[in-house]
Homo-oligomer: A and B are copies of this chain.
């Protein structure tokens, strides 16, 4: 699905800027840490976030990822949220802390924060560079 020559971006520590559709049909976008397991892009959210409500209302999503080593090279992945999985043991957010911070555990977890993993199936890409 995603062209081979962009797989390095999926393994990099680039942020993904995630666009979703808000409650009035408007675009919303912000950066997230993401992981790639060869099939899905995944990112963590607390259950109170607007973005989670957005994808539960409309699962269509797009992610923009720029090469940290070359700002003229990017990949856009468009797809759908196909699952929202609980992360009660914080396994996924801790994996992201290892990837992005080099830390064993996500350092900003607060008691009471409920985390989920948003799972995105790619359907289409655009790219440059």
Contacts and interface: CB of A to CB of B under 8 A. Distances in A.
Contacts of A26: 21, 60, 62, 78
Contact of A30 (B18, B61, B74): B74
A58 B25 CA distance: 10
Given A29-B29, A126-B30, A17 B64 contact: yes
Contacts of A17: 17, 19, 29, 31, 64, 66
Interface of A: 15, 17-21, 25-31, 58, 60-64, 66, 71, 74, 76, 78, 100, 126, 128
Given A29-B62, A30-B128, A71-B100, 13 more contacts: A15-B71, A17-B64, A17-B66, A19-B27, A25-B60, A26-B78, A27-B60, A27-B78, A29-B64, A30-B74, A30-B126, A31-B64, A31-B66
Contacts of A19: 17, 19, 27-29, 62
Is chain A's binding surface mostly helix, strand, loop or mixed? strand
Contact of A21 (B25, B61, B126): B25
Contacts of A63: 29
A31 to B, nearest CB: 5
